[in-house]
């Protein structure tokens, strides 16, 4: 389109960071930076694990595109620092970011609001993991409560796996989530816009080899299929989009997010798994894929997100 977006001021693309997802964040950030530069934005890479955040103020940055993933990126910490600096940023504010990063808190709110999410137990020992398995049944998912990208994730099929599953998850987080496994279609749906009027984008159905949508298959292989249109039965996509919009709203999200959902094969009931408030923007990522299906290019998506930057106190124009 060739339009110049220099009116957006000097922009920092926050990427890298100190989380377990640093590698993916650098991939996301590089893509965003290239896209913004192609649209005439005065954009610059900024890695908060290598530089103090107050350099943003000192160097006159007008706004930030957060392309950080995981802890210290989408958990409210960077958002809080940017609030103190008075620099508008993409995505959700401090509270919604912190809650959404914590899968247990997220599920508590969704359950309270009457939104469907798989049964779960929070555990802090291998013994509690065994007890959760006895209660929830097989298969059971064991994962850190505050990590993303399937890091520390195990699908437990027998009690004999509980010790190792807990040990793996607890390497990443003292808070471990045991969750009932829902067998069926795995889908994801991005949401963009202000909290009061969000727009749900086309649903993507994920078909991974042997149903194993792990870290490697998410980012580094081409064997996973992403179907958009999702090819769901009549009415299901709209029901999922409505569910995801509500999930976004009750957590107080804004800007953008992506919710992951499992559809029970027997009942066709959709169950919310989690919501990502700083989704991936790599070549394998799902928000750009969904946006493309809605007729929005990667570059235009990046500009649209940048234009939505705000702080908790005010919305920038």
6-90 folds as Rossmann fold (3.40.50)
Question: What integer pLDDT is reported at residue 209 of this predicted model?
Answer: 74
Give the mean pLDDT of the chain. Answer: 93
Residue 216 has a CB neighbour count (10 Å cut-off) of 12
Our answer to whether residue 7 is catalytic in this structure is: no
Give the tens place of pLDDT for each residue, 4-33: 687 899 999 999 998 888 999 999 999 999
Angle at 275 between CA 282 and CA 19, to 5 degrees: 55
Our answer to whether residue 21 is catalytic in this structure is: yes
* Selected catalytic residue, list 28, 170, 276, 310: 276
Residue 317: pLDDT band with limits 50, 70, 90: very low
Our answer to whether residue 274 is catalytic in this structure is: yes
* Selected catalytic residue, list 74, 237, 274, 299: 274
Question: What integer pLDDT is reported at residue 1 of this predicted model?
Answer: 41
99-116+182-301 folds as D-amino Acid Aminotransferase; Chain A, domain 1 (3.30.470)
Give the tens place of pLDDT for each residue, 169-192: 999 999 999 999 999 999 999 999
Q: Which CATH superfamily is domain 120-180 in?
A: ATP-grasp fold, A domain (3.30.1490.20)
Our answer to whether residue 299 is catalytic in this structure is: no
With tokens 């103020």, the residue in question is 57
Q: What span, in angstroms and rounded, lies between the C-alpha atoms of 42 and 33?
A: 10
Which tokens in the block code for residue 272? 């919310």
* Selected catalytic residue, list 149, 170, 278, 290: 149
Residue 269: pLDDT band with limits 50, 70, 90: very high
Which helix H or strand E contains 166, and what residues bound it?
Answer: helix 162-172
222-to-69, 114, 293 alpha-carbon distances in Å: 21, 37, 19
159-to-88, 132, 140, 288 alpha-carbon distances in Å: 48, 10, 10, 39
The whole-number average pLDDT for the span 159-169 is 97
* Selected catalytic residue, list 19, 21, 166, 271: 21
* Selected catalytic residue, list 71, 245, 254, 258: 258
Domain parsing of the chain, residue ranges:
6-90, 99-116+182-301, 120-180
Question: What integer pLDDT is reported at residue 217 of this predicted model?
Answer: 54
Q: If phi over 0 gives left and psi between -120 and 50 gives alpha, with beta otherwise, what is residue 233?
A: beta
Our answer to whether residue 280 is catalytic in this structure is: yes
Q: Enumerate the H helices of 8-102 as residue ranges.
A: 22-38, 55-58, 77-85, 94-101
Which helix H or strand E contains 239, and what residues bound it?
Answer: helix 236-250
201-to-1, 29, 245 alpha-carbon distances in Å: 22, 22, 10
* Selected catalytic residue, list 179, 186, 260, 299: 260
Do 137 and 183 meet the contact criterion of CB atoms below 8 Å apart? no
Our answer to whether residue 149 is catalytic in this structure is: yes
Our answer to whether residue 97 is catalytic in this structure is: no
Residue 218: pLDDT band with limits 50, 70, 90: low
Exposure on the CB side of residue 229, measured as CA atoms within 13 A: 7
* Selected catalytic residue, list 76, 280, 308, 310: 280
* Selected catalytic residue, list 89, 166, 213, 219: 219
User: Residue 219 pLDDT more than 60?
Assistant: no
Q: If phi over 0 gives left and psi between -120 and 50 gives alpha, with beta otherwise, what is residue 208?
A: beta
Count, residues in the chain: 317
């Amino acid at each position: 389109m060739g339009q110049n977006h220099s009116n957006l001021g000097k922009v920092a693309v926050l990427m890298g960071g100190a989380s377990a997802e640093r590698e993916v964040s650098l991939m996301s950030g590089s893509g965003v930076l290239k896209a913004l530069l192609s649209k005439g934005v005065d954009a610059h890479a900024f890695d908060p694990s290598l530089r103090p955040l107050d350099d943003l103020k000192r160097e006159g940055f007008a706004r930030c595109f957060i392309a950080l993933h995981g802890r210290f990126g989408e958990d409210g910490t960077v958002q809080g620092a940017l609030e103190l600096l008075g620099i508008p940023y993409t995505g959700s504010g401090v509270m919604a970011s912190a809650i959404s990063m914590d899968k247990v808190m997220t599920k508590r709110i969704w359950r309270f609001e009457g939104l469907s999410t798989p049964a779960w137990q929070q555990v802090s020992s291998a013994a509690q993991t065994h007890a959760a398995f006895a209660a929830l049944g097989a298969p059971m998912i064991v994962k850190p409560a505050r990590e993303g990208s399937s890091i520390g994730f195990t699908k437990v099929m027998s009690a004999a796996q509980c010790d190792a599953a807990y040990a793996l998850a607890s390497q990443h987080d003292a808070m471990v989530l045991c969750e009932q496994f829902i067998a069926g279609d795995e889908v994801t749906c991005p949401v963009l816009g202000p909290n009061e009027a969000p727009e749900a984008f086309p649903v993507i159905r994920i078909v991974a080899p042997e149903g194993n949508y792990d870290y490697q298959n998410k980012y580094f292989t081409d064997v996973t299929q992403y179907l958009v249109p999702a090819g769901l039965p009549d009415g299901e996509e709209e029901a999922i989009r409505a569910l995801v919009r509500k999930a976004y709203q009750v957590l107080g999200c804004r800007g953008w997010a992506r919710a992951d959902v499992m559809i029970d094969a027997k009942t066709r009931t959709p169950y919310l798994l989690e919501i990502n408030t700083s989704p991936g923007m790599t070549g394998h990522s799902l928000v750009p894929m969904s946006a493309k299906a809605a007729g929005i290019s990667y570059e235009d998506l990046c500009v649209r997100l940048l234009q939505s930057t705000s702080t908790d106190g005010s919305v920038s124009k």
